[in-house]
Amino acid sequence: MDLLDAFERVSTKCRVVSPIPFCMTFAADKPTGLFVSAGIHGDEQTNIAAMLDFVSSHREQLEAAPYSSSFAIGNPETVRENRRYKVVDMNRSFGVEGLAQDVLRAKELVYAARKFPYILDLHQTIEPTLRPFGIFPQTPTTEEFFSHLGSITDLIVSTSMSGDASKPVCFDEYMLHTFSACAITVETGSIKGEQQSVVACACEAMKNALTYAKVLDGTVSAVPFRRWHQVQFVHNHADTKIVSGLQNFTQVSEGEEIAYRESEKIRSEHKGIVLFPKYVPTTDRYLARIAIQ
Ligand SMILES: [Zn+2]
């Protein structure tokens, strides 16, 4: 199924306005509530399908809501081609100057989202993950928002992706920094993982976030979550390989082999979990990380 066609089909059935292409805003004349984006990385498509399912089944409530809500496909050009990005990673392109399609779409998305107090950005990991998780700039308000999303109960403590907190480049950190939005990113599962659980996770997160932002009626309660601090980084040298079978959140003991290069074994220095293991060749600085609570 073509997700862009499906988006257009759903939006023509709803009373919405479109501030930018592939973005539908419900109750646009009301105060702003929640902005949802999916597919900033064009190969993370299950969240888009989940978003369209969700919108279709909540259309009347969203149209009649006391606060507006907006649902956007992050980077439609790349969704069409099922590729991660066109020229540069869009989620490293917020607040960046340039004429690359990904940079221009980042500006559009900011324009559409700029007045919303709450932003939920849905992603999926490339490598397998045992659990969904949140990763976003942490403030008391973003953590409070995150704690109401339901069954996503792991938070990876992150640092600014630009390496400079005053130059945010991810959607969530840019919107927080520039517009004081309560903006968070959740990873609902992996691209190659079980699709149904990704859909269920994304739909629960959207429903709870919309309720928390008072777009939908009802109450949601806070759920305690685990904070994971990254404490060991395995460098991605050309001759270094990760041990097979490790997934995001795989538990490791202190001294356990996690990677190797020629005769050298690289071991976990902590009892903790593996994060972001890389099996597909990449230019990323790290092959994996170890995190502890
Ligand atoms: Zn992503």
What are the C-alpha distances in Å from 177 to residues 109, 112, 171?
Answer: 15, 16, 10
Cα 263 to ligand 1 centroid, rounded to whole Å: 35
Q: Which residues contact 225 (CB under 8 A, 6 or more apart)?
A: 134, 146, 147, 152, 153, 154, 155
Cα 44 to ligand 1 centroid, rounded to whole Å: 6
The alpha carbon of 145 is separated from its chain's Cα centroid by a whole number of angstroms, namely 14
Q: What residue has token string 């691209």?
A: 191
Contact present, 28 and 62 (Cβ < 8 Å): no
What are the C-alpha distances in Å from 196 to residues 203, 218, 291?
Answer: 11, 25, 28
User: What pLDDT is recorded for position 282?
Assistant: 81
Phi-psi region of 62 (alpha: psi -120 to 50; beta: other; left: phi over 0): alpha
Cα 124 to ligand 1 centroid, rounded to whole Å: 5
User: What pLDDT is recorded for position 109?
Assistant: 98
- The token duo for 178 is 């520039």
pTM of the complete model: 0.95
CA dist., res. 105 & res. 82, Å (int): 16
Cα 196 to ligand 1 centroid, rounded to whole Å: 18
Per-residue pLDDT of the chain (293 residues; tens, 9 = 90+): 599 999 999 999 999 999 999 999 999 999 999 999 999 999 999 999 999 999 999 999 999 999 999 999 999 999 999 999 999 999 999 999 999 999 999 999 999 999 999 999 999 999 889 999 999 999 999 999 999 999 999 999 977 666 677 788 999 999 999 999 999 999 999 998 888 899 999 999 999 999 999 999 999 999 999 999 999 999 998 889 999 999 999 999 999 999 999 889 999 999 999 999 998 888 888 999 999 99
β 251-252/257-261 pair status:
unpaired
Cα 84 to ligand 1 centroid, rounded to whole Å: 8
Report how far apart the first and last C-alpha atoms of the chain are (Å, whole number). Answer: 41
CA dist., res. 23 & res. 83, Å (int): 20
- The token duo for 160 is 């600014």
User: What pLDDT is recorded for position 166?
Assistant: 74
Amino acid identity of residue 55, one-letter, is: V
- The token duo for 234 is 């395995």
Q: Which of 149, 131, 102, 129 is nearest to 191 (CA)?
A: 129
CA dist., res. 249 & res. 118, Å (int): 28
Residue 39 DSSP SS3 = coil
User: What pLDDT is recorded for position 279?
Assistant: 87
Contact present, 34 and 119 (Cβ < 8 Å): yes
User: What pLDDT is recorded for position 263?
Assistant: 83
Cα 21 to ligand 1 centroid, rounded to whole Å: 20
What is the Cβ-side half-sphere exposure of residue 99, based on CA atoms within 13 angstroms? 0
> Domains in the chain, ordered, with CATH?
3-212 (3.40.630.10), 227-292 (2.40.50)
Question: Residues 64, 67, 68, 72: is their CA dihedral positive or negative?
Answer: negative
Cα 127 to ligand 1 centroid, rounded to whole Å: 11
